Every structure is written in structure tokens, then in C-alpha cells.
């Protein structure tokens, strides 16, 4: 009888990991970049719509602080109006356009102007005004002193002798409800974003 032999055969099977590298085309990169760009722009727009508005400066009444053609980012929510703030006024006026002016006096203040000396007094104190182009010599319709009612502000342009502002009956005192917002920074030109009170450009 033939002896039965057992054979043991071992098979070593190596599993090779095959990596398939898919190379992105140039268009895929462009689409990805555009997608990120669109998202960033939308995020910026949402922030600006909720917190800021962009307003253009027209005319020379705020020289030398602001020039015609510049753009301002204004804070349009939770705005407290203080003396010295640059504000955008939408109150109806004879020239039928928004005004960019500086707040000189707020509700409860008494303002007076010595047009011979060119000095502005608020609550009987001459205020320091490093931002003005010239002394305040243009009277307009102003007859002071004037006490500002609560809820109103008195505004003037920094270019005192070439500005239509609260000294004139056509503008008058500004109801705070018509203050669109307070200028926070210069949106354009980009090289001078900060608004400096004594800026000479």
C-alpha cells in the first residue's frame, strides 16, 4: 500500500497599495480660488451692510481734513454722537443732498461764535480746532449764543469760510434722527485710511 503523503503549500500574496494621484487641472485651481474669493467678498459685504456704510465726499467744505472724491466708512448702528465727530447728515436742505460735517455742539450745549476773532465757544469756552482751514469769519444767518435742544446737534464744515452748515437757515440745527452715521475711517484712498483732525494734505 502506497504511503499517502501530505503536502503543504504556502502561498504568500503581497497586497500592493496602489496610489492613484489625480492631478488637478488649471481650471480646478481657478474655480477653487474664485470660490474662496467670492466667499470672502460676501463676508465683507455682510459686515459692511450690518456695521458700516460707504459714503462719498462731495465738495470742499471739509478741507483740509477730507477732500472731494474720497470715500468714508461710517458706523451706522449703535451710534453715539459726540462733539468733534464727522457725521453724514440726511436732513432735507436747500441743496437737496446729504452733507458731511463735523459736530461742534450737542443737545444741552450753548454755542457762540466771535466772528471778528474767528473763535467758536461751546459752554463759554473757546474750543481748540486744529482741523479747520481758516478761522470762523463767515457769519451766515447765525445770531448767538444758541442753546442746542436735546436730540439736535450743531454742525460746521472744517473749511469754515466755504461751508453751508448750521450757521445758515437753509441747513439749521440737525435732528439726530437724520444723522446717517459717524465716520470711522477713510475707505478710499487706501493709503490714507485714518482720519486725522489736523491732517494737512
In the predicted structure, residue 150 carries a pLDDT above the cut 90: yes
Per-residue pLDDT of 92-138, as tens digits, reads 988 888 999 999 999 999 999 999 999 999 999 999 999 999 999 99
Q: What are phi and psi of 138, to 5 degrees?
A: -90, 120
More confident of the two residues 59 and 28: 59
pLDDT of residue 71: 92
Per-residue cell: 148: 442746542
Which entry of 23, 24, 61, 163 is annotated as an active-site residue? 61
- At residue 48, the pLDDT reads 60
Within 10 angstroms of residue 1's Cβ, the number of other Cβ atoms is 3
Percent of the chain with pLDDT over 70: 79
Q: Does 67 participate in catalysis according to the annotation? A: no
pLDDT of residue 46: 66
Q: Which one from 3, 32, 101, 170 is the annotated catalytic residue?
A: 101
User: Which of helix, strand or coil describes residue 100?
Assistant: strand
Q: Give the whole-angstrom CA distance, residue 92 versus residue 137.
A: 26
Whole-angstrom distance, CA of residue 34 vs CA of residue 139: 56
Assess whether 121 carries a catalytic annotation: no
Say if pTM beats, i.e. exceeds, 0.75: no
User: Which residues make Cβ contacts (< 8 Å) with residue 75, sequence separation at least 6?
Assistant: 51, 52, 181, 182, 183, 184
Tell me: domain 50-188, CATH 2.10.109.10, correct? yes
Query: Do the beta carbons of residue 67 and residue 58 sit within 8 Å?
Result: no
* pLDDT > 90? residue 17: no
| Greater pLDDT, 173 or 33 | 173
Q: Is the pLDDT of residue 181 over 60?
A: yes
- The C-alpha cell at 151 is 436730540
Q: Which of 41-45, 55-59, 151-155 has the lowest mean pLDDT?
A: 41-45
64-80: pLDDT as tens digits: 999 999 999 888 776 78
Is the bond preceding 189 in cis, omega lying within 30 degrees of 0? yes
Amino acid at each position: 500500500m502506497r504511503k499517502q503523503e501530505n503536502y503543504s503549500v504556502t502561498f504568500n500574496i503581497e497586497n500592493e497599495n496602489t496610489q492613484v494621484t489625480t492631478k488637478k487641472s488649471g481650471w480646478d485651481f481657478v474655480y477653487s480660488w474664485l470660490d474662496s474669493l467670492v466667499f470672502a467678498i460676501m463676508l465683507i459685504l455682510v459686515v459692511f451692510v450690518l456695521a458700516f456704510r460707504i459714503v462719498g465726499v462731495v465738495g470742499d467744505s471739509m478741507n483740509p481734513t477730507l477732500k472731494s472724491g474720497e470715500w468714508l466708512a461710517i458706523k451706522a448702528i449703535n451710534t453715539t454722537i459726540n462733539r468733534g465727530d464727522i457725521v453724514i447728515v440726511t436732513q432735507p436742505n436747500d441743496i437737496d443732498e446729504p452733507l458731511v460735517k463735523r459736530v461742534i455742539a450737542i443737545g444741552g450745549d450753548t454755542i457762540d461764535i466771535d466772528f471778528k476773532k474767528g473763535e467758536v465757544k461751546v459752554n463759554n469756552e473757546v474750543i481748540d480746532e486744529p482741523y479747520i482751514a481758516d478761522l470762523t469769519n463767515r457769519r451766515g444767518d447765525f445770531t448767538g449764543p444758541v442753546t442746542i435742544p436735546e436730540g439736535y446737534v450743531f454742525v460746521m464744515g472744517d473749511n469754515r469760510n466755504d461751508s453751508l452748515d448750521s450757521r445758515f437757515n437753509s441747513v439749521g440745527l440737525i435732528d439726530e434722527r437724520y444723522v446717517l452715521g459717524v465716520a470711522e475711517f477713510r475707505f478710499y484712498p487706501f493709503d490714507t485710511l485714518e482720519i486725522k483732525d489736523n491732517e494737512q494734505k
